[in-house]
Amino acid sequence: MAQEDDHLCRLTAVGARSPDYRVSAGTWEGGRWLAVNLIDGVPLWRALALARGPEGDRASVRTWLAGIARTWTEQLALMHAAGWAHADVQPTNTLVTHNGHAAVIDYALACGPGDGRRVPHRGALTHTTAPELATQILHTPTDTHIQAQSSADIWSLGASLFWCWTGQRPVAYDDDLDRLEKPAVIARGATTALRDVRPWPFPEFEDAITACLAPDPADRPTTKELTAAWCPCAPWPSTTPPPSPASTAGPPSGTPPEGFPLTILIGTACRPGFTGSLDDLVHELFDGHWDMIGGDLDGALTFSWPDEAWDYEAAPEGREACEAARREQFSTMLTTAGLPVPTTVRDLSEPYLTWGLARREETLDGTRWSMPAALPLPGDLLPLDPELTERLDLIRWTTRTGPLLDTLIDHLVDDLGEPTEILTSLDRLAAATGQDVDDVRLALAELVKSGDARVQRGEEPTDVERLEAHRRFRLVVDWEHFHENRIQVSRG
């Protein structure tokens, strides 16, 4: 604590850290305390969860990723220019804020000029330790201070981006290896080829990360060079990038309710063997009348389901006023994008073609329909207000983490019989649930965030994000809270 406070004061004095970051520090009967300003962000691993899928292969996600990398290197550049190295660059020490900026935290291990009496630096998180540091760790006494250089930060930066984007660490080794065997593997300087494990191609991003991971520190780029490489890209205006799970891809949220059955209708028209118009399909499936679209394709668009029980507590203005507000919101989005405002279901089908949600082709056999494998996101199609963007981000995040959490809960309930407390580790839970260690970490973090469980080492709570795979911890579950706040679905 005292060492980090000293580092923050010295970094602030040379302009390498904002004076707004450190609030105060002091002592109390239990030891020392240090207060810093709260950064409203999430750890890098969690922030990139949705970018690890193939659906992230889109321009908006590339821009978002490059923006994180650029703002990250900008902060490290300030330290490096002052002769400092952060010396603990890793995913849990990098938060991604709501506007897609990286925020570097935890300066306890930083190495700077004129370091006097200090706790010897012996590396930080093994997975992001640069090869030259790993070599020194192996060949120096345990009480010898290792002065980290800025080039080691660059390797750790590349390793963190590699890990959080691909889901795999850049240096492959077994988690069960002895504590000193892992640095020995890293010290060899060999890394997994990024092109072999990337979720989707991003040549500029890959080239920069690969350059960061050069075995020889002299061959790595500087923060200035990296900032320039990523400079043309501005950050995505959200904490989580927007790949397209089915629940949030497709027509923009805020479209009339008829948009949902229209999507089903067009999807059905894309089935092999069907040729014809949407009218033909309505006649084939529903004898020409489908209540969900108001009868036929010429039915008027509405902005609430006809049989929807109105929630006057949530919307006290009433159905009519709320429908008018929804209609106005939808019209504004379309006119802002330079598109005509549809009034019927048939009119609404045309933007599907404009937006690339569906394709219609006239062939010798008749009209054929198709849909792309990866649908564009609402925010790629129309300008969305921040509240709607945030809500869609939450849906996407839930779509990503929900199945992981369900698998973990099934294990705790079905296999272990709802234990109040268990002593376990991430790798044990991964083996028991058939999931990846990092997916288990994600599920545990959500379980803790919801208030259903605590993760402790000894009697103290611990950060799930910082747990190593083999490290034992106590998982304490509040089953009463769990059952009161979750809807359970029985699967037959």
What's the pLDDT score for residue 282?
A: 85
Backbone angles phi, psi at 455, to 5 degrees: -115, 125
Position 54 pLDDT exceeds 90: no
Contact 243, 378 (CB under 8 A): no
- Among 245, 255, 364, 368, smallest CA distance to 301 is for 255
112 contacts 84 by C-beta, under 8 angstroms: yes
Asked if pLDDT for residue 315 goes beyond 70, the answer is no
Per-residue pLDDT at 221:
93
Q: Which of 186-190, 461-465, 488-492 has the lowest mean pLDDT?
A: 488-492
197 or 174, which is more confident? 197
For the domain bounded by 387-485, which CATH number is listed?
Answer: 1.10.10.10
**Is 89's pLDDT higher than 60?**
yes
Residues 6+ away with beta carbon under 8 Å from 438: 45, 167
pLDDT over 60 (residue 237): no
Q: How high does pLDDT run on average in the chain?
A: 83
Higher pLDDT, 249 or 289: 289
The pLDDT of 434-457, averaged and rounded, is 90
Mean pLDDT of 177-196: 90
**What pLDDT is attached to residue 138?**
92
Gap between the Cα atoms of 26 and 12, Å rounded:
18
Share of the chain above pLDDT 70, in %: 88
The residue type found at 330 is F
Give the separation between CA 266 and CA 218, rounded to whole angstroms. Answer: 57
How many whole angstroms separate alpha carbon 112 and alpha carbon 110? 7
Closest CA relative to residue 36, chosen from 19, 49, 48: 19
For 232, the 3-state DSSP assignment is coil
Q: Which of 34-48, 123-137, 298-312, 398-412 has the highest mean pLDDT?
A: 123-137
pLDDT confidence of residue 349: 86
Tokens of 222: 């500087």
pLDDT at 123: 85
Query: 159 near 151, Cβ under 8 Å?
Result: no
Say what the pLDDT of residue 128 is.
Answer: 94
Cβ proximity of 128 and 163 under 8 Å: yes
Q: What are phi and psi for residue 290, nearest 5 degrees? A: -130, 115
Flag the least confident range among 262-266, 275-279, 423-427. Answer: 262-266
Q: What is the DSSP string of 87-140?
A: S---GGGEEEETTS-EEE---TT-B-TT--S-PPP--S-GGG--HHHHHHHHHS
pLDDT of residue 217: 95
Q: What pLDDT, on the 0 to 100 scale, is given for residue 488?
A: 46
Phi and psi at 164, nearest 5°, equal -75, -25
Model confidence at 389: pLDDT above 80: no
Q: What is the DSSP letter of 414?
A: I
> Per-residue confidence at 255, pLDDT binned at 50, 70, 90?
low
Mean pLDDT of 337-366: 84
Higher pLDDT, 299 or 251: 299
Could you read off the pLDDT of 57-70 as tens digits, one per residue? 777 788 888 889 99
Those residues with Cβ within 8 angstroms of residue 290's Cβ, 6 or more apart along the chain or in another chain: 261, 282, 296
**3-class SS of residue 78:** helix
CATH 1.10.10.10 domain span(s) along the chain: 387-485
Confidence of residue 87 (pLDDT cuts 50, 70, 90): very high
Please write the tens of the pLDDT for every residue from 102-132: 999 999 999 998 766 678 888 888 999 999 9
**351 vs 78, residue with greater confidence:** 78
Per-residue pLDDT averaged across 312-316, rounded? 64
Q: What is the structure's pLDDT at 370?
A: 85
State the CB neighbour count (10 A cutoff) for residue 244.
23
- Structure token pair of residue 2: 């005292």
Let me know the angle formed at the C-alpha of 376 by 161 and 50, rounded to the nearest 5 degrees: 30
In this prediction, residue 308 carries a pLDDT of: 53
Retrieve residue 60's tokens: 């908006």
* Stretch(es) of the chain classified as CATH 1.10.510.10: 42-230
3-state secondary structure of 295: strand
Q: How far is CA 225 from the centre of its chain?
A: 26
Enter the tokens of residue 477.
């579950």
What are the start-end ranges of the H helices in 270-304? 278-286
Q: Which long-range contacts (CB under 8 A, 24 or more apart) does 262-265 make?
A: 262/293, 262/345, 262/348, 262/349, 262/352, 263/352, 263/357, 265/293
pLDDT at residue 249 in the model: 41
Q: Tell me the percentage of the chain whose pLDDT exceeds 90.
A: 30
Q: Which of 51, 117, 125 is nearest to 92 (CA)?
A: 125
Task: Supply the DSSP string of 309-324, one letter for each residue.
Answer: PP-TTT-TT-HHHHHH
CATH fold of 42-230: Transferase(Phosphotransferase); domain 1 (1.10.510)
* Total length of the chain: 492
Those residues with Cβ within 8 angstroms of residue 49's Cβ, 6 or more apart along the chain or in another chain? 240, 397, 400, 401, 442
